[in-house]
Structure 1
Amino acid sequence: MMRGGLVLAALLLSACAGGEGAPGGGGLLSFLSPASRAPQDSISVYGGSVTVRGPNGYCVDPAASRATSGFAVMASCARTANADRQPRLDALITAQVGRAGSAMVTGSEPALSALLAGPTGRDMLSDGQPVAVSGVDQTPGVVFVNFTETESTAPVAPPLMRAFFDIGDRLVTVSIRPVEGSDLDVTSERLLIAETIAAFRSVNAGDV
């Protein structure tokens, strides 16, 4: 398969990042299960092949996650568990880990960035709503995209961010969505998603 086909396949997989029931619009926090459990900092997916972990102050919601298909939901530990740990930046974080052999970001950052900036990228970023891409950026091994849902019912559509990177031989996508009452701008979301990627890489250090 040519490189362009590999990048397109990566985007097709990334479209599943919210496909396990990740919310869009106003019912964001209702997506989380009741906060009546002990804090869980991480979750193993695909039978332990990869560990998903968020930044400090974030816990996994195991009931909303789907470990067998590589999907994980993270939010403030105060929202997902009996814990007082409140992160500096409050959002819902979802992660989708691809199957073995899906890694294809490293070395293809420019091609992936170009595809995300065009019509195909907009289609792949959509979780059921039309989106407008406001920016695409890359660092070695990571591609970031900023976008908004153009038909959002919120008075002001919140900025959204998604990052694409590889862990071992698997593609990973991480998405940031501000929760109601939080005031995250693009700079704050970029910081939060970078912290999430760092946590991912730290806990899977042998596969980076």
Structure 2
Amino acid sequence: MRGYNISINQLADFSKSSEAQKRSIIKQQKVPNTFKTAWYQLAKARIKKVMANKGDIQPILDGIEVLKSKTLTKKRQIDDRTVSLDAMQRFISLQIPNLLKDYDYKVLKKVESKSIFIKGVEVIVSPDLIIEIEIEGKKYLGGVKTHISKGNKFDKKQQSYVATAIYKYLESEVAKNGQIALPDLCISIDVFGDGFVTSPENIDEKMKDIEVICEEVKKMWDAA
């Protein structure tokens, strides 16, 4: 049986949830619904493509046309399209970080692990995108994680937890052969919230908060 585990976006969600909501998150982690279809897959895939291509928004524009052209009858599909269209249109208005515009970079597709362990909890970071940028002969790593939810926006603190975990993950699990995790490239995106939030330079305070959250996850896990 799998041990304590939680995805980083759910950890951010957990950090500001009510007791009942926290129990629900834990139950979902303990017994995942393998038949559950993820929401907003096209929007997330198109945002990922934009981030992988130096901010070129053409994949978003194409995605908008694809969704508009579909004939849908099921309420879930119609709701998904409505929010996805709004999310992609909002993303276009966001200011892409300069580092992603000014430098060439490559996307790293194969990594050995998608998680880090914090206080005995497997935190599944699994960035949507991991990139490597070379600046003045040094290789820097960055990662992007997207959150799309109209009714459950992350605030800057929650996004900072996500960005911090990306930094810690890249530093401890991905970096090798002199690669350096760069805080400015560790990015949480919330298209309905505060847009882009990057990891702080000093992650100590945020990591302490995340450790406390992980301890609470363990306590509630055993009780759920």
Same fold? TM cut 0.5: no
In proportion to residue count, which structure has more strand?
1
TM-score after normalising by structure 2: 0.27
Larger Rg: 2
Greater per-residue helix proportion: 2
